[in-house]
Structure formats: structure tokens, C-alpha cells
Structure 1
């Protein structure tokens, strides 16, 4: 029984009143402490989610040999900020008494956890636009300042220092970690100022290099087409990766300094935990309302700190290794130079007048203008101080690491020399002979990338292509072998079919293929494995046809046309249904293919005629038709065309199925002549955030379609303007006008670029 209950006998004869108050206090404490265990478990679970996301980023960095560790799974956004707000429950809790060893260490691990998170998130501000950078930095600042203020209150009220200063001795760690947390916030905030200008500089350099790459000719006239494409992909991969805002931010001096700070914070936390463990020689205990969940939070967040330190520490090490690869210079003034893009935003803001402020008093306007200039001047000095200090830290790290890295590099070169002598006459790595350093984008003051980094990027491209070669569309190749010309492009839709409306929507590559496949499945007496084989072949072909449709110049106007093919194909492939009609049931119920074709034509006509009632007044805008109506119009025209072509009814179901397969093969073959242009376009991407993924897609396409590209090179093609070859209707018009035959003048598909 505590002192409060014992003193009740001395304070008043009404002891029962104090006893009731004591019982009420104990009951309220139990009621309050009950949910706190669940809250603690929730905090531990959220911390574990953060650790898994950072571990995934670390794994991807090692796997892809990107030791600057891009933020792919854990970046600065609304979701991560929400998780952080939950994970920071302990250091901002002012209402719970937490005097146990685990409680004190858990608060320290939470603040260390916050430091590690800031260091990890720094590269993720690179791809953001100016508004997102401002909002996210403000959100992080509010969270960090809240943690700082609450911890300071606990230090002042000795909530953290209860028995800790004398017994546990970890108050100094709290102070140091809090200082590092504020320092990391300042570094993050001022580093964000340089992002818009650096992105602008990189964008200009990227477009200049794009002009250079697009006009370059192969060094050797006998270079194969595959090698030419490989070189183009390598060049654009270098442009995309070295020009990535995340890469530039991760390799900056401020990012490497944040890595040093995160490493120091992790060492401080480990030192405090080891010292606590050795001093007491017992496991940490908790005396708070969070009960044993505090220990769980402690170990999970300590694990997060260790895992989260990997990326910032390796970014620092990578930046140091880049510097060490550079020839040693005694001109330290240039090494500590502050480039213009660091302070240019502040200089631009200083020149902006305060026009939006409607203040008539001249003295007030002058006072506000002077205050603004004073604040910006102070921020400029702080920015210069941060950059110089960061470069100083990097320079000191280089002095320490240069002898070690030089020794390791010497041993590595010696080993490579021995290996090269033992394998004389072997082939060299592909792409090494290309001068890759010309295609690296750099900001002012950045060092040249080491040769091994450039070689790794080149080898990564070759590996992507080789991996894609093992995934070539074999079923599609079997289907394309049935094509011997391009008659199917004209035959699938006849001009003799009466239109249901005055205007018809244009054809895309995908929709006729989907419609013809649907008709083929609906034919009677077709074996299931043959129909399934056709579906597999068409599915592989449509993946490329969609990419080609997406590269059309009028993509925004043709959205409904492209959605119609995707809408129908999902149902055809998965459920064997065209819209709501069961194709397998139609195949079983129909006696002849003419009956099934007429049935499909009637169903499609009903869909199209609904347009007159539902969308009255918009029938003359075929590009705006609903996707079902566009699909039904295609089905009606193709079904009627096939009925006109087979009026004699002497052809068998299997023969018609084979004819439809040939039509599909002809259309897909013509469509795939655009692949070289698609690969070229995927290498160049306007959106800076999507460039790397776009180049990766180009490499994958090059590997997957190698056999198709070789076949296209051997096929004779109609003479079409490069602006026409992407459109199926242009093919139809050209073939009709020129009465195309295999012996006419032909043009290689290598000259066809979308």
C-alpha cells in the first residue's frame, strides 16, 4: 500500500473518503493502462513495416548494383509520414510515466529511428515537383519539431532523466541524437532548395545529348541492327540513370554527410544499449503503461536503425569512392566551392518584388522588403555553410579512405591482370569499347563516374536484353509464320458493308485482332486446344500492339478506341465471352458458321443501334462513342464482311478458322513493323521521372522481339511514309491504291520510325 493510502489515517477521521479516492485512482490507472499495451503493439507493427520497406530498398540496391540506393518502396509521401507519426508515439508521449530501462532506451531508439528515416528519405525529394517538395518538407519539419519540443519538455521535467542521469547515464545520448535530428532536418530542407534548379540543368543537358545521340551514325558500316539498338539503349540508359534526380541527390555532398550522421546515430544507440545491458546485466524492463510492448518497440526500432543505416552509409561510401577515383588535387578551394545551383533559388526569390501585398504605407512595404532580404541572406549563408561543411566532411573522408581504397583497387587490378593473362583470346565484355563517359550527365562540381560504374550500367543493359531473349513470344512466332503477305489487312473489312452511321470510327491495330479472334472462337466444331493456342498467340501479340497503339500521335483522342479492345479482350481471354455473349455457347448451338456469323452480326447491330437512343445527337462523334458501341460496330462490320465473302457456304469451319488465323497474322505482322520505332521512342522519354523505366522497357522489347525483328528484316513491305506506317487504315488505303503485290517496290522496316 503506497504512502498516499497510509497518510489518509493522519489527514482526516473520514478515512473511507480517502480510501475511495485511492481505489478510484487505481481503477482509472488500470482502465487507462489496458489500451496502452495494444497501442504499443501497434507502434511496433508500424515500425516493422517501415523496416521492411527500407530493407526492400536496400535489397533492390544491392541486387541492381545501385549502391546509391534509390527510394522505391519507402519515400517521402503522405503514407510514410502517417507511419512516422504513429511510430513516434513514445517520444511525444507526455502523459505516461516511463522510468524503466526499456522505457528510456525506447525513447532514445525512437529519436534515432527518426534520424535514420530522414537520412533514408533524402533522395526521394529529387523526383518531386516544387509543390510536393514544399508540402512534404513542411510536414517532416512539423513532426521533427514536435518530437524535439516534447523530448525537451521531458528532459526539463526529468521524465527522461528520472533515475536515468544517475543510474542509466543515457541523457547525453538523448541530447546528441536530438541535435543530429535537427541537423538532418536542416540539411534536408536546404538540400531541397537545389532540386528545381538541378532538374532544370539536367533537363537541358539531356535534350542536348538526345540530339547528339539521335544523329550519331554507327562507327562501323557493317554493324548489325541488333548491335546498333544495343548501343542506343546503353546510351539512353546512361542518360536516364545519371540524369535521375534521385541519383543526383543521393550522390550529393549533403546526402553523403547525412549518411555519416546516420552512422553516428546508429553507433550511439548501440553503445547506449550495450552499456545499459552490461551495467545492469539483466534484460531491460518496463514500468510504464505500455508494459512489455515497450521492449518490443525497443528491439524493432533498433533493428530499423541498423537496417535503415545501410542505405545512407553506402551513399556516403559511394560518394567517397567516386572522389577517391579522381586524381588527387591540392587545390582545396575548388573542392570546397559552392556551385550556383545551391543558392540560385534564394537569389531568384530575393529579386521577386512583394507585389501581391496590398500595403499602402511605403514604410511598411520597405520594412517587409528589407525583412525578406534579411531572411534570404541568412538562408543563403546557412546554405553555403551546409554545403561547405558537407564537402569538408567528404574531403576528410577521402583523406582517410584513399589509402585503403587505393590498396584494394591495386589488388583488384592485379587480380584482373592475372585473370586476363590466363584467358587470352577470350571475348571482351560487350559494349566496353563504347566511350560511355560521353553520355553521362553531370552537374557543376560533380566528379566523373568511375569506369566500373559505367561498365556495370552497360553490363546491366546486356543482361536485361539476354534475360528478355529467354522470354521471346514463341506462340506469337508460330502464328506469324502463317502470314505470307498483307491481304488480311484489306480483307477483314469490306467497303461493301453498309454502315450503320454516317461516320465510322478509325481502326486501331488491336480491335480488329480481338474481333477476329472472338469470331474464330465462336465457330462450331473447333477443337478446344486449337482455340486455346490461338488465344495464347493473340495475347502475346496484343501486348505489343497496345504499345504501338499508345505511341500514336493522337493518343488522347483515341482513348475510347483503345479501351474498347482492352475491354473486350479481358472477357474473351478469361471467360470466352464477347461483351455479354458466351462464345462457347454460340459455338455449341450453331450448326454452321454462317448462322454464328449472322447471330454475332445481329447482336452487334443491336448494341450499335442503342447509340441513337442513349447518345442522341452524338452519333456523328465516333471517337466519343462508348467502348461497347465501338466494339459492337467492329464486330458488325467484320461479321458482315465474312458473310459476304462466304456466300457460297462451301468452306468448312476448320478452313474458315485457318483463314481468320491468317488474317490475324497479317494484321499483327504489319503492326509489328513499328517495333523499331517503338523501341527508339521508349529510349527517349520527356518525363524525367519515367526515363529509367522507359529505357528498361526498350531493352526488354529489344530482347523479346529479336526473332521478330530478324523476320521483319527479311519481309518485303509496302512503300509507306514514316508518318503513315503506324496506322492500319493508312496500310489499307495504300494497299488498295497501289494494288500491292510481293513483287512491287519495297522498303525495309528499318527505315520505318513512328
Structure 2
């Protein structure tokens, strides 16, 4: 490649400008698709936001307007290209400005200074070109060039006050909405709560406020940023719902009411999202929960009469105990491959809720943190490879060993891992600590079941052992899920404004998926535990048998549910 004159390099410069413009277009299109995917009438900035990268791309895309040199032979083409570039600049500004809403004061100042310098540079170059060509700048052209700068500054100046105003309104409504601390499992009540917070989070988003503001509409940016959906207004009680949830709409100006079309779409978006989440209900988990007869499993999984391996106290996490019981079930003989797959599906669906419970409520204590990490490490190995700490779980079953021998084998393997860790404790790594915790849990649970059956006159059949293990899993899941109301309530709100919408979407997804789980919990009589203690498995385990109510069957959808394990 050789260039004899600067003009020879112009095609490559043009390609450079075209690539930068294409990247901007792709980012704007991605924001548009993201908005459509989430059923919005406006396009929130997720990919095309005002930052150093986007400013660099805009500067490259504006190469033609700032170029003071032009080829006289193609002057009309150059002018047309510059005009198109200016229109493209307007379009980019229209799409990028809502991102100002989520910036703090320092970020806003830095980015606005950089953007103003870029716009002023473009203006100065265009003024110089206009004076050089016709001797004076056309007033209309002059206004068109100054207008973007004035518009950008006018929007930026309103952002800090708007953010504070919206945040103040949000916190006032949050204080009124989050008063109740009672535990209940009413899907309808939680649906109303989620919709209230959805309206607060959506309309309290400064990006949304900017997109719907009158200043933005003057620039024509509301036309660029909104989309009309085909919708059916025949939804049941839609007008009544709009009237109920209008109270939770946040506005910068009291006299500037949002249109009914926007309010209806905002409400419809959460309704659709809940409906989609309901369709993702955990069918396999529901079948597993039907095998539970109460909360006895939270006591029966670990017996204090089993001698401890170590003197340290290791706190039990919901997820690690469930994963360990699942590993034990897979190791047992007479469990078909189809039943193993169904059990793994059930456990995975249950662990989705358990993870949220642990992340929201079990966030105190280093021991629980390590226990959760151990459950993730072991859980992947059990699900994908049907192994536990690199030990083939089905090895003994293939050799024809009995369930009694398998329990003893699992206990022996766990003891060896614990011994290796204690012998090299000072040189241990994180994964060794997690293995140690997982091994200690396996020892406690496997030997508890072994001790339980060894004291009986006859060792039970393989089917009875499998029923017992799966019932333990179901009982522990059920006890853990009593915390879902608190999780949903906590997920409805987030202190960080930029994370608020994602948090309420998570709450809505949990609520939709757990609809039938909440129905099952309605028939359960909760033990005498305070709301904070209910989040911890060890608190449940400390209860006595008489504190746990037995439920022989679940009344579900008006039918008596029978459970088939094998």
C-alpha cells in the first residue's frame, strides 16, 4: 500500500468514519430492541450512553463537518455529506441524552464539558467554512448549529434537581408501601406490591423522566425514542388498575401529567412480564414438594448423636444440604436414570429460589459464605458429571453394593477428605476449604441416615430409603421457601437508583415462578420462629419435634395429591 498524495488515503479515512458511525448505529439499534423487548414506549440507554467511548465515536463520525478542506470538483457531494452528518449528530444526541439521568453530579459535569467542547468544535469549524464560502453565516444555519448546544445544556441543568425530586418522592412512597412485616403467601397481594414498585421504579427513572419531558419533545426526541405497540384494551379491569396505580406514578412537575397511553403501557408491561414468569413455573419442583409432609426434614437431616469429626462449628446453608442430599440420592441403588434426571431438574428449579433466599437473607457470617460457595462447586459437579468431589457417585451401585454399604462408603470418603484438610490446614487453598466444608456436611448427613436406619430392626428397602432422602429434600426446600415473601419484598426495592429496575424485575420473576409454591405454603402451619430466624437452616434445626407441625397431605387446587417416587 503506497500513497503519493493525501487524497489517496481519503477512502481509508472514509472507511474509518463509516465504521465509527456504524458502531453508533448498532448501539442505538440495540437500545431500541432492548426497549421493545421490555415492552417500553421509550428506549432506555443501556448500550449507547454518554461516556469517553461514545464521545470518541461521535468525534470520529463527525470527521466531515469538522474538515476544513474540500475538493472543489465534488463540492455539492461534500456539502450533502456534511448535512447528513449534522442530521446524524442530532439523532445521536437525541438517543444519548437520557443517559444523563443516571449520572451523579461529578460524572454529569465531566461528560457535559467534554460533549460541549465537541459540539463547539464542530460549530466553529462549520462557521469558518460558511464564512469562507459565502462571506457570512446564514442565520438559519447559525441557529441550527447553536440549538444542539443550547438544548444539551438545558437538559443537563435539569438533571440534578430532577433526580433529587424523583428520589424524594420514591422514598416517601417506599416508606408507606413497606410498612407491613407480616408473613403471608397471597399471590394477589404480592402482585399488587410488585406493580406498585414497578410503577415507582419505572416512572422514577430519570431516563424515563427525560424521555417524557417537554424539553425533549421540543427537540423531537420523544418521537425518536417512543414506539407505539399494538395492544388490546380489552384487558380485565385495566381502567380500574390504572386508577389504583396512578398514585404510585412519580413526576418532576405535578401539572405535567403523563399520558394515559404511557401509563397503560407501563402497567401492561409488568402484567405481561408476570404472565411470562408464571408460564415458567417449576413443574418438577412442584412434584417434589408434594412429597413433603411438613418441615420434619429440617430436624431429621442431622442427628447430634452422630459423633463430630471436628470441634469447629460449621453453619449449614440451605443449598449445600440440598445438594448433598441430592448426591446421596444419586449414589443409591435402584434409582433409574430417568428418575435421576427428574430429581436433578427438581433440585435445580428449587435452587433458583434458594439462591435468592441465601443472597438476600444469609449475608452475615463468613462460614455461610464459604458454605454457599461450596454448594455451587459441588452442585455443578453433581449435576453435570454425577460426581461428588471427583468421586463417581454411582460406582458402588454399579458394583451391586447395598444402600447401607453406600452410606458407609460416602461417610468414609468424607472422613478422608476432612483428615487431609486438617493435616495440611496451614497450606490450604480456598477450594480445599470448600471441599472440607462439603465433606463435613456429607459425613453428617450420610451418617445420620445410616444411624437412623441402623437402629431399626430391619434395614429398609431401597425404595423406602430413596423416599426418605427425597422427602428430606422436599421438607428443607419447603422450609426455605417460607422466606420467599421477604425476598420478594426486599427485591422490590433497591437503594441504588441505577439498579432499581433490574431489582423489581427480579422480584416479579420470582413471584411469577413461585405462584404455585406460595399456594402450597398457604396450607402450612409455620413454627414459632421470628422472621429473622426463619432465614437460617440452623435455627430451624434447633427446633424440637413438637415445634414442627406435621401435614399429612397438601390440599392443592381442590385435589388430594398423591406422590409417586419410584
TM over 0.5: yes
Query: Which residue, out of 715, 719, 740, partners 2:548?
Result: 740
Q: Indicate the larger mover: 539-548 or 244-253.
A: 244-253
Summarize deviations over 1:86-108 as a string: whole Å, max 9, x none: 43344445678585244443333
Q: Is residue 565 from structure 1 mapped to residue 378 from structure 2 by the alignment?
A: no
Residue 195 in structure 1 maps to residue 159 in structure 2: yes
**Residue 18 of structure 2, aligned match among 44, 60, 63:** 44
Higher mean alpha-carbon deviation, 87-96 vs 564-573, is at 87-96
Higher RCO (Cα < 8 Å, 6 or more apart): 2
Match of 1:544 in 2: 353
Look up the match of 1:10. none
Q: 1:643 to 1:68 in 2, by over 3 A?
A: same
Are residues 646 and 92 of structure 1, via their aligned partners in 2, closer, same or farther at CA, if it must alter by over 3 Å? farther
Aligned to 1:477: 286
- In structure 2, relative to structure 1, the CA distance for the partners of 1:137 and 1:598 (3 Å cut) is farther
Equivalence for 2:85: 110
Cα gap change, 1:553 to 1:127, in 2 (>3 Å):
farther
Q: What whole-Å deviation, never above 9, does each CA across 1:373-409 have from its counterpart, x for those lacking one?
A: xxxxxxxxxxxxxxxxxxxxxxxxxxxxxxxxxxxxx
Could you tell me how far apart the structure 2 residues matched to 1:686 and 1:82 are?
32
Q: What RMSD over aligned residues (CA atoms) do the two structures have, in Å? A: 3.8
- Match of residue 224 from structure 2: 311
Does the aligned pair in 1 maintain the 2:294–2:548 contact within 8 Å?
no
Question: Partner residue of 1:124?
Answer: 99
Which of 569, 578, 598 is 2:388 aligned to? 578
Cα gap change, 1:98/1:203 in structure 2, threshold over 3 Å: closer, same or farther? farther
CA shift in 2, pair 1:662/1:66, >3 Å = same
Which residue of the partner structure matches residue 504 of structure 1?
313
Larger Cα-atom Rg? 1
Give yes or no for contact 1:235–1:439 (8 Å, CA) kept in 2: yes
Using the TM superposition, give the Cα deviation of residue 481 of structure 1 relative to its aligned residue in structure 2, in angstroms.
Answer: 0.6
Alignment partners' CA distance in 1, 2:252 and 2:38: 24
Aligned to 1:9: none
Is this contact kept in 1: 2:332–2:403, CA < 8 A? yes
1:433–1:178 Cα change, 3 Å: closer
Correspondence list, 1:657-668, <5 A: 657-668=466-477
SS at match of 2:525: coil
Identify which of 382, 394, 401 aligns with 1:591. Answer: 401
- Tell me how many residue pairs correspond in the alignment: 543
Report what 2:440 is aligned to. 633
Q: 1:247 aligns with which of 191, 194, 208?
A: 208
Q: Are the counterparts in 2 of residues 608 and 633 from structure 1 also a CA contact under 8 Å?
A: yes
1:591 partner SS: coil
> How far is 1:735 from its partner?
3.4
CA 1:64–1:34: 2 relative to 1, 3 Å? same
Q: 1:66 maps to which residue?
A: 40
Q: Residue deviations 1:483-519, cap 9 Å, x none?
A: 1122211122222333333222211211111111122
Deviations 1:434-476 (A, max 9, x none): 5322222222455122344333333333322222222211100
Shift of the 556–692 alpha-carbon distance from structure 1 to 2, 3 Å rule, reads: farther
> Residues 93-108 of structure 1 correspond to what in structure 2 (within 5 A)?
93=67, 100=74, 101-108=76-83
Q: Distance in 1 between matches of 2:310 and 2:485?
A: 37
In the other structure, the counterpart of 2:518 is 709
Quote the Cα distance in structure 1 between the aligned partners of 2:101 and 2:197: 20
Per-residue deviation, residues 128-166 of structure 1 (Å, max 9, x unmatched): 22232233223323433444445455556x6xx5xxx79
Q: State the distance in 2 between where 1:68 and 1:635 align.
A: 52
Give me the whole-angstrom Cα distance separating, in 1, the residues matched to 2:305 and 2:239: 55
CA deviation after TM superposition for structure 1 residue 556, in Å: 7.3
CA distance in 2: counterparts of 1:243 and 1:27, whole angstroms: 57
- After superposition, the C-alpha distances for 1:517-563 in whole angstroms (9 at most, x for unaligned) are 12222223421111000000000000011111112163574433322
TM-score of the two chains, using structure 1 as the length reference? 0.64
Match of 1:642 among 440, 449, 469: 449
Query: Gaps spanning 5+ residues in structure 2: where?
Result: 553-566
Report the counterpart of residue 270 of structure 1 in structure 2.
Answer: none
Q: Which residue of 2 aligns with 1:527?
A: 336
Matches within 5 A, 1:170-189: 180=144, 182-189=146-153
Query: Structure 2 length as normaliser, TM-score?
Result: 0.83
Quick check: 1:58–1:310 contact (8 Å CA) kept in 2?
no
**What does 1:146-295 correspond to in 2, within 5 Å?**
146-152=121-127, 180=144, 182-215=146-179, 225-259=186-220
SS in 2 for 1:734: coil
**Which sections of structure 1, spanning at least 5 residues, go unmatched?**
1-25, 218-222, 261-308, 318-415, 421-425, 745-754
Determine the C-alpha separation between the residues in 1 that align with 2:467 and 2:141.
74
The structure-2 alpha-carbon separation of the partners of 1:645 and 1:82, relative to structure 1 and needing over 3 Å to count, comes to farther
| Separation in 2, partners of 1:227, 1:660 | 34
